[in-house]
Amino acid sequence: MFSGRKILVGVTGGIAAYKAAEVVSRLRKLNAEVHVAMTKSATEFITPLTLRSLSANPVYVDMFEEPKHWNVEHIALAQHIDAVIIAPATANILAKMTIGLADDFLSTVLLATRAPIFVAPAMNEAMYLHPATQANLTQLRERGIKLIGPSTGFQACGTEGVGRMSEAAEILETLSLFFSRVEGLKGKKVLVTAGGTQEPLDPVRYLGNRSSGRMGYAIAQVLQEAGAETILVSAPADLPTPQGVTRIAVQTALEMYDAVLERFSEVDVVIKAAAVADYRPAVLAEQKIKKDGTNLTLELVPNPDILAELGRQKTSQILIGFAAETENLMANAQGKMLRKNVNLLVANDVTKQGAGFGSPTNIVSFLFPDGRRIDFPQMSKLEVARNLVHEIANLLGVNKGVN
């Protein structure tokens, strides 16, 4: 499970730093390639020499020390690791991660990496339960950071309560479950669409919508984590491409139609999460349309229905659609599911707080042609993506711990 995996262990300045030695040692015994990055305060609790001896690799502490390799150290490390585990994760590092502060080697790597990040919090109960820490943990969960623990027990300050760092065995069990899930969709090829298409009116204006692309990008990230070869056909979106995902940039509905249909026969699954314009201007003005004080009438013509065309053409492919509605959610979504011949339809009411375009969270229901329906509470879009990939694995018959 761990053989050949490149894992970064981040150690921050708490008394539980001594437990990092066992985490590193166990990972090495399981044939992982272990790298360690420490904050300067962590070196007050455990020496870099100890972790260097256990990991058999240089330990990173100082951002500006002599490079161990020819390239930009923190960027190279960030790009080549398979996972990060911060153990212990102090309240300070959690706060830094929340606001994106990068003032040392470890926090800079955390900002630069696209690998999955696990944190094992360790701090006094009062610090852990403080509203600021709890708010930080909530934001980190919404971004897809995975928490391990903390547990409850005796603390170094002499009190007893929640905030103890999880033991090495629990940390490795969580990582093991994650990597076992990674193999769940190995060998499958999946295409995801994301973002809102833009239909030009003239050289400077376009018709568009409020889609941020977050849902589609989250799905692409989870699919890649689950081992699928993932193609992301994206309308304009100000989001980083998930690590390992092939991104194909398009602007208009016609461009997205061509990109998706061209690759449809090659893939096992298509997930249509993009907000595609239903209409486009009949005429594209060659020059900027000038305001002259009179009314302006635009003639719009319909764009092709990508999801309906895929539903007509599909043979063995799994087809997933989305229905973003503002009224009569279930009636409209069920009608769309049947008309478009999809295997699963994700329905959401975009007028609900916490479920609209641009929100980091969503509130969805999964509808199936056999009448089944699964309703979910408000959760991060990454968690919605994980639930969706779980159902896709079920539909493919390859669900081996994909959750």
292 CB-contact burial (10 Å; exposed 0-12 / middle 13-18 / buried 19+): exposed
Partners of residue 374 on adjacent β-strands: 366
Question: Are the CB atoms for 346 and 323 separated by under 8 Å?
Answer: yes
Residue 222: enclosing H or E segment and its boundaries? helix 214-225
Residue type, 21: A
Question: Are the CB atoms for 194 and 232 separated by under 8 Å?
Answer: yes
Rounded distance, CA 17 to CA 381, Å?
33
Q: β-strands 300-302, 279-281: how paired?
A: antiparallel
Count Cβ neighbours within 10 Å for each residue of 75-100 and write b for 16 or more, e otherwise.
ebbbeebbbbbbbbbbbbbbebbbee
Structure tokens, 240 = 């980083």
Q: Mind spelling out the 3-state secondary structure of 132-150?
A: HHHHHHHHHHHCCCEECCC
Give the list of residues 6+ apart from residue 184 with CB closer than 8 angstroms, or none: 226, 227, 393, 398, 399, 400, 401, 402
In the block, residue with structure tokens 């590193």: 24
| Residue 249 region by backbone torsions, left for phi larger than 0, else alpha for psi between -120 and 50, else beta | beta
- Decide if 157 is catalytic: yes
Residue 35: enclosing H or E segment and its boundaries? strand 33-38
Which one of the listed residues 63, 157, 207, 308 is annotated catalytic? 157
Rounded distance, CA 106 to CA 125, Å?
25
Rounded distance, CA 53 to CA 275, Å?
52
Structure tokens, 310 = 């895929």
Catalytic residues: 157
